[in-house]
Structure 1
Amino acid sequence: MVAERRHGEYKVPGGKLVVADVAQDGEGDGATLSEVAISGDFFLEPDEALGTINAALVGLPSTASVATMAAAVATAVGDDVAMVGFSPEAVAIAVRRALGHSTSWGDHTFEVIHGAAEVPFMHMALDEVLTQSVGAGTRGPTLRIWEWERTTVVIGSFQSMRNEIDPEGAQRQGVTVTRRVSGGGAMFIQPGNTITYSLSVPASLVDGLSFEQSYAFLDDWVLGALRDPGSTRATCRSTTSPRPRARSPARHRSATPPAPCCTT
């Protein structure tokens, strides 16, 4: 019986494409990698190291984590091999995508929400509810584009109101101040003069990425979509409903809390 070959890809943010074609022996938790072929547009020196990378992964459990696979590759290649445009972690992510443990943009259908202008406090509430709902699996990946009803300053979840805001000045200028659920700095927002979005995704899309890496990975896709709306591979469906609701109580947050990105 010929083992089924499985295909996965991972584009390193700011780097190269890593492709994994794999096969496994067995099924379920007892399955192991029987064949691994890594390819891509990366650079590798010496060339023979590619065979070393493939061999390092053969025999590992198919359920091995990104950390386990990456450690096996790093140990096998040692310090004398130059991996340019990719890393052991990138190889591991591509392999896990091939095995179906991690997902890519093309595996998801995104709901795009672009509703009417809302007051700042409603935006903050929607931000939190949508993130929790995606994390709990009660709704699919969501890209929400915000429209603002009034001039606002939004501070990050860890910022000090006292240190960042002049309350009297804000009141005098008619500026509303609110706090979002994610970190980062204060943002000044004017209706019609700001692009604001939040992206909520399941943990599988950023499997194996650190918190910081996941931001770069997600931002890379969104910025690419803004540059060329026809270039992204994810499927989207649109809705004009400004107040989507979770279908069941949220229990977990998604892997990457949506971080509003503003350009004025």
Structure 2
Amino acid sequence: MHGEFKVPGGKLVVVDLDVESAGSGDVLCDVRVAGDFFLEPDEAILAIDRALTGAPADAPAEQLAARVEAALPPGTVMFGFSAEAVGIAVRRAVAHATDWTDYDWQLIHDAPQSPALHMALDEVLTAEVAAGRRPPTLRMWEWGAPAVVIGSFQSLRNEVDSRALEEHGMTVVRRISGGGAMFIEPGNTITYSLSVPDALVRGLSFADSYAYLDDWVLGALDGMGVKAWYQPLNDIATESGKIAGAAQKRLAGAHGAVLHHVTMAYDIDADKMLDVLRIGREKLSDKGTKSAKKRVDPLRRQTGLPRDAVMRRMIESFRDRYGLSEGSVTPEEMARARELAADKFGSEEWTARVP
């Protein structure tokens, strides 16, 4: 069995192993850990292999990491990886997880769409990946109208000021994933979706899958001079503040799939955002700031690049890492998405399902 885990912002950990039956159940054997990380002293790599050999095959990553930590020689230095990363790589090996480069990735970057249609396309395309009828897909969004997008479980009246919403000519839509509200203005927002097979994130905890699926964009930002990192659970941040928020939804199917979508603030009208969104003091205090204006720091100022250039750099970064061919929404997918946009995402019943 073979498993790999690229530490977000760090190095690659590779584990090859076998599983054999023992009196107490299946255990790991012939464990071999490798990677492009740095480790001192040299004998520490053998200590890691020995610590994992004989471990229960169903042991969680945390338990495997504890075995590694306990076995390391005094003074061991691990740079670019950790005992936890080794445990995750083992879990991915046992779970037969796939890697990014195992797939032929497709890019969809179409003309601006309505907010409700964007919500529907996310559901339809991810369902097609789950059914095995569509390859893993990166979709770059273009917004056709300003909107507030609320999470699947948020209260409509608690999150949005309906008076301000109407005054600013904005609509509100509810997505299928959880998480918080997003303030959207065309030209000032960068949004993308990843519709990926479940196998790509096997062996990862729910929390780890967020950073794993966005490691490529951290690399793209670094190439634009922006030093960014993942702030658990679902924020991408820099020293200047938050620049993006992510959300996920798991869909069942013949293969299973994960929808992972991210909205990044390229530019933002902070006064309008605060007028439309009801951002509670509790939420702000949890982020260590007193003002929502200080929480969100636009990419326009940090990169000095036009929005289109930022998006092109992101796409090229993904293509350089994993390969990416041009694609499109099929007529059948679009027909289903338009139906969902009208009957579900554009309906009061769905939008106000949590009043």
Task: Name the Cα RMSD after superposition.
Answer: 3.5
Contact 2:97 2:199 in 1 (8 A): yes
- The residue number in structure 2 matching 1:183 is 178
CA distance in structure 2 between the partners assigned to 1:133 and 1:242 by the alignment = 11
Tell me, yes or no, if the aligned pair for 1:133 and 1:139 is still in contact at 8 Å.
yes
Q: Is the 8 A contact 2:150 2:173 kept in 1?
A: yes
User: Aligned runs of 1:14-163 on 2, under 5 Å?
Assistant: 14-20=9-15, 22=16, 24=18, 33-44=29-40, 46-59=41-54, 66=61, 69-70=64-65, 72-74=67-69, 76-77=71-72, 83-95=78-90, 101-163=96-158
Q: SS at 1:233's partner residue?
A: helix
Could you report, residue by residue, the CA deviation over 1:80-108 in whole angstroms, capped at 9, with x for unpaired residues?
85544323342244346667812221112
Moved more, 198-207 or 92-101: 92-101
Query: Cα offset for 1:134?
Result: 2.8
Which has the higher mean CA deviation after the structures are superposed, 237-246 or 50-59? Answer: 237-246
8 A Cα contact 1:145 1:197, kept in partner: yes
SS at the partner of 1:131? Answer: helix
Matched AA of 1:241: V
Instruction: Pick one of 202, 206, 210 that aligns with 2:201.
Output: 206
Q: Give the TM-score of the pair, scaled to structure 2.
A: 0.56
Question: CA 1:243/1:113 → structure 2, altered by over 3 Å: closer, same or farther?
Answer: farther
Deviations 1:126-148 (A, max 9, x none): 11222333344443211111111
Does the Cα contact within 8 Å between 1:36 and 1:57 map onto a contact in 2?
no
Structure 1 CA distance, aligned partners of 2:333 and 2:180?
28
| Structure 1 counterpart of 2:163 | 168
Q: Give the C-alpha shift of residue 167 in structure 1.
A: 1.2
* Inter-partner Cα distance in structure 1 for 2:154 and 2:31: 50
Write 1 or 2 for the structure with the bigger share of helix.
2
User: How big is the shift at 1:243?
Assistant: 6.1
Kept in 2: contact 1:23–1:36 (CA 8 A)? yes
**Equivalent residue runs for 1:208-223 within 5 Å:** 208-223=203-218
Which structure has more relative contact order (CA 8 Å, sep 6+)? It is 1
Residue equivalent to 1:196? 191
**Paired residue type of 2:195:** S
TM-score, structure 1 as length reference? 0.72
- Runs of at least 5 residues in structure 2 that lack an aligned partner in the other structure: 224-312, 335-355
What is the aligned partner in structure 1 of residue 322 from structure 2? 234
User: C-alpha displacement at 1:35, in angstroms?
Assistant: 4.9
SS at match of 2:333: coil
Percent identity over the alignment is: 52
> In the alignment, which residue of structure 1 is the partner of 2:219?
224
Given the superposition, is the C-alpha separation of residues 42 and 135 from structure 1 closer, same or farther in structure 2, using an over 3 Å criterion?
farther
User: Partner of 1:260 in structure 2?
Assistant: none
Relative to 1, partners in 2 of residues 1:39 and 1:188: Cα closer, same or farther, differing over 3 Å?
closer
- In 2, the alpha carbon distance for the partners of 1:180 and 1:212 equals 20
What SS is found at the alignment partner of 2:212?
A: helix
The code of the aligned residue for 2:38 comes to F
Q: In the alignment, is the contact (CA less than 8 A) between 1:120 and 1:149 conserved in 2? A: yes
Q: Give the paired residue count.
A: 238
Between the aligned partners of 2:159 and 2:57, the Cα distance in structure 1 is 49
Which stretch shifts more, 180-189 or 225-234? 225-234
Structure 1: tracts of 5 or more residues without a match: 1-5, 247-264
